[in-house]
Structure 1
Amino acid sequence: MYNLPASEARQRWSDLIDHAHREPVAITVRGREQVVVLEAELARRALQALEDAMDRAAVDRARRELAEDPETLPLEQVARELGITLG
């Protein structure tokens, strides 16, 4: 990842955007990374991968909880409690 001081990023914004199409650019303030500029499609894919991983973790957690306490409720009862009409 390419690092660029914030003061330089302001002066070379169009260069920064061009560079971000090739690889992420970390903007630094006093030598510490503050934000990262990256290509939009890469950001979308990264966020989707993170969401997918979080979903898998939630499913795994739910499966473990169900295995520990297998008590289940009938669909009709859950729907009634949530105020949902089953068709």
Structure 2
Amino acid sequence: MVAIPATQARQRWAQTLDEAHRAPVTITEHGRESVMVIDFEVAKRALQALEDAEDAATAAEVHAAVVRGDEEIVSLEEVADELGIVLG
């Protein structure tokens, strides 16, 4: 991973983007990490993986609550009936 100062990133924006397609580029301000420029497809996959992990953690928490008896299982049919929705 490459780290460059913000002023250099601005002055060499095309090169910064080229580098970001190969590996993440950290841009620093006053010597501290500020932002990261990363290839779009890599960022998209990383965000999807994060969302999937959060969903899995939530599902595990709900499952544990059901097993403990803290949560009640309600079927889709029951919810639809309560809301007046006809399932086809």
The TM-score with structure 2 as length reference comes to 0.86
1:32 shift after superposition: 1.0
Q: 1:74 to 1:38 in 2, by over 3 A?
A: closer
* Secondary structure in 1 matching 2:36: strand
Deviations 1:58-80 (A, max 9, x none): 11111111101263334433113
Q: What is the RMSD computed on CA atoms of the aligned residues?
A: 1.6
Q: Which runs of 4+ in 1 moved over 4 A?
A: none
1:44 shift after superposition: 1.1
Where does structure 1 lack aligned partners over 5 or more consecutive residues?
none
* Secondary structure in 1 matching 2:86: coil
Task: State the match for 1:7 in structure 2.
Answer: 7
Q: Does 1:61 align with 2:33?
A: no
The aligned runs of 1:1-87 (5 Å cut-off) are 1-69=1-69, 71-87=72-88
Where does structure 2 lack aligned partners over 5 or more consecutive residues?
none
Q: 1:86 is aligned with what amino acid?
A: L
Q: Percent identity at matched positions?
A: 52
Measured in 1, the distance between the counterparts of 2:74 and 2:9 equals 57
Q: Give aligned pairs, total.
A: 87
